[in-house]
Structure 1
Amino acid sequence: MASENVFVEHCKGVNGLDKVILREIRGYTAEVYLFGGQVTSWKNELREELLFLSSKFGNVDSLEQHGFARNRLWSVDPDPPPCSSSATGRAFVDLILRHSEEELKIWPHRFEFRLRVALSPSGDLMLTSCIQNASTDGKPFTFTFAYHTYFLVTDISEVRVEGLETLDYLDNLQNRERFTEQGDAITFESEVDKIYLSTPTKIAILDHERKRTFVLRKEGLPDAVVWNPWDKKAKAMVDFGDEEYKHMLCVEAACVEKPITLKPGEEWKGRQEISVVPSSYCSGHLDPRKVTFTG
């Protein structure tokens, strides 16, 4: 008879850091480090890695630019609230990050950040975030949010993204100037760092050589960041290998253009779910009624 440990295992990872391994019945797995609340691995039933992780993972010198939450030690939440009960399977872990005196020096607001990382019975990777203003001084706070999702791809020059065409975006390489996407699909031949605005709830990342497609579905996150550093930027980054840009693409659900403001006691929820489907998948099938997500 299967035990709980089949689905959730607490153990040690790189440098003795605490991590949680999630396993679902068909063979998909995910690894979550309590440091940073980061998902560092998501593998399919063939044990193929689906997420990109730099060989220099662990060098955190440059992570502060992404917010202090991914540079802090989270705790396993023993008593999660109903807000994070979206997982239908048994392979999930609830993490929590609260303000401390150290955090108050960096960001002077009291908060509670809950994160559920789950694998669905079909292997989909699901992230659900709940952030609450726990202030006792009556003051609201404002923040932006993004899931830093790095996909492992075979060859970035053979990848395209569908679902963002014709949308407006802010170009971080041009002082966040606003443009409108012109192509039928997004392809990559140089550095890209864009924030797409008012995006659909579903985005497809097609890896032609691997003959598979990632489908990103999101709720509560109107924007989408698309990033690849390309060769020159990759060589200048301390936490990125010189040639690793060829095998990664960052497409992340985000809320950037219009920051979220919470009054004391208020809570915000955001969710991102990633599926893997055969390469015949295309943007015309983004309607869930037209495709069955089988993992």
Structure 2
Amino acid sequence: MLPQIKLQSQTGNATITEHGSQVQSWQTADGQEQLYVSPRAVMDGQAAIRGGVPLCFPQFNMRVLGTKPLPKHGFARNMPWALVSQDEQSVRMELASNEATLAIWPHAFRAGLDVRLEQNSLRVSFDVVNSGQEVFSFALALHTYFHVNDIHDTSLNGLEGCAYWDAVKDPHQPLARSKDTAALRFGTETDRVYANAPRELRLQDGARVRRITHSESLPDTVVWNPGQSLCAQLKDMPAQGWRQMLCVEAACIEQPVHLSANQRWQGWQQIELMA
């Protein structure tokens, strides 16, 4: 079992692992689990954990920002973070550049993750300070895996008319753009990056509705579900796991952040159970 921090209050419960500073569970006051973690997720303190809210930093997927690619989705989700403070409803974790990070990304930084529970809501905030002497660039995604009862009875509202890159249809053309005119529904593989997405979305999962908002500093939204075929190829997912999850991620990908020496950047995503 990986070291965990637990938040327990009248507003709900949450579990965060020190490995990756990753939210693994969030139960609202009614006892409903709102996040998905694969029952086959690897919990060895080395591999990325499939589910919850992984941190993709300082690289998203394999989009190279420096002279060489980093591990997929960067390294933050695979590193041990330090617990800085905790109370009933919130926790702060931190990760600073060290020998392991500098070996693959030659920049000094100090990153923090704040997780806070309110009545039927969860806010995950990430901040980073450039503690070096030179500008560095980074991308970020709060890779939130939502638990859904049935992906076929799930819709995402708010992205109608927004331009997106479809990584399934146009995998080798990242500048290609498509648009939808209706709420997004699911059933096959979905992998999209919406640039300059609206700051409020509604995830309809049967009778359950969740409001998803994000900071202006995270202008992009990633929507991902592996679908049946790809899910069957993922060793850390059950064959039918794709039917119980949907990733909706607040991100800054299309325009990476350029952070000068001693500057601080911050972004957040908030989820609120509406019904």
TM-score class, shorter: 0.7 to 0.9
Question: In the TM superposition, what are the counterparts of 1:126-137 in structure 2 within 5 Å?
Answer: 126-135=123-132
Distance 1:123 1:189 in 2: 28
Question: In the TM superposition, what are the counterparts of 1:233-252 in structure 2 within 5 Å?
Answer: 233-252=230-249
Is 1:23 the counterpart of 2:23? The answer is: no
SS in 2 for 1:77: strand
Compute the displacement of 1:46 (Å).
2.9
SS in 2 for 1:144: strand
SS in 1 for 2:94: strand
Is 1:47 the counterpart of 2:31? The answer is: yes
Equivalent pairs, count: 248
Question: In the TM superposition, what are the counterparts of 1:36-75 in structure 2 within 5 Å?
Answer: 36-58=20-42, 61=47, 64-75=71-82
Instruction: Tell me the equivalent position of 2:138.
Output: 143
Question: Which string of whole-angstrom CA distances, capped at 9 and with x for unpartnered residues, describes residues 19-45 of structure 1?
Answer: 11112224x111111111100001122
Is 1:105 the counterpart of 2:103? The answer is: yes
- Contact in 1 for aligned 2:163/2:177 (Cα 8 Å): yes
Compute the displacement of 1:70 (Å).
0.4
Which amino acid letter does the alignment assign opposite residue 261 of structure 1? H
- 155, 169, 186: which one aligns with 2:164: 169
- Contact in 1 for aligned 2:48/2:77 (Cα 8 Å): no
SS in 1 for 2:123: strand
Question: In the TM superposition, what are the counterparts of 1:163-202 in structure 2 within 5 Å?
Answer: 163-173=158-168, 174=170, 175=172, 176-202=174-200
Which amino acid letter does the alignment assign opposite residue 213 of structure 1? V
Compute the displacement of 1:149 (Å).
0.3
Distance 2:117 2:160 in 1: 30
- Contact in 2 for aligned 1:62/1:239 (Cα 8 Å): no
Distance 1:217 1:118 in 2: 14
Instruction: Tell me the equivalent position of 1:83.
Output: none
- Contact in 2 for aligned 1:113/1:130 (Cα 8 Å): yes
Is 1:227 the counterpart of 2:224? The answer is: yes
Question: In the TM superposition, what are the counterparts of 1:66-105 in structure 2 within 5 Å?
Answer: 66-78=73-85, 90-105=88-103
SS in 2 for 1:66: coil
Compute the displacement of 1:62 (Å).
6.1
- Contact in 2 for aligned 1:166/1:180 (Cα 8 Å): no
Q: What stretches of structure 1 of length at least 5 have no aligned partner?
A: 1-14, 81-88, 279-295
Is 1:212 the counterpart of 2:208? The answer is: yes
Compute the displacement of 1:200 (Å).
1.2
Compute the displacement of 1:183 (Å).
2.8
Which amino acid letter does the alignment assign opposite residue 262 of structure 1? L
SS in 2 for 1:55: coil
Is 1:270 the counterpart of 2:267? The answer is: yes
- Contact in 2 for aligned 1:171/1:177 (Cα 8 Å): no
Q: CA RMSD in A?
A: 1.7
Q: Which TM-score applies when normalising by structure 2?
A: 0.86
User: What is the identity percentage for the equivalent residue pairs of Structure 1 and Structure 2?
Assistant: 32
Which amino acid letter does the alignment assign opposite residue 217 of structure 1? T
Instruction: Tell me the equivalent position of 1:293.
Output: none
SS in 1 for 2:103: helix
Instruction: Tell me the equivalent position of 1:11.
Output: none
Distance 1:235 1:206 in 2: 25
Which amino acid letter does the alignment assign opposite residue 108 of structure 2? R
Distance 1:65 1:238 in 2: 16
Question: Which string of whole-angstrom CA distances, capped at 9 and with x for unpartnered residues, describes residues 151-186 of structure 1?
Answer: 000110111101111011112221224223223110
Q: Which TM-score applies when normalising by structure 1?
A: 0.80
Instruction: Tell me the equivalent position of 1:7.
Output: none
Normalized per residue, which structure has more helix? 1
Distance 1:115 1:44 in 2: 20
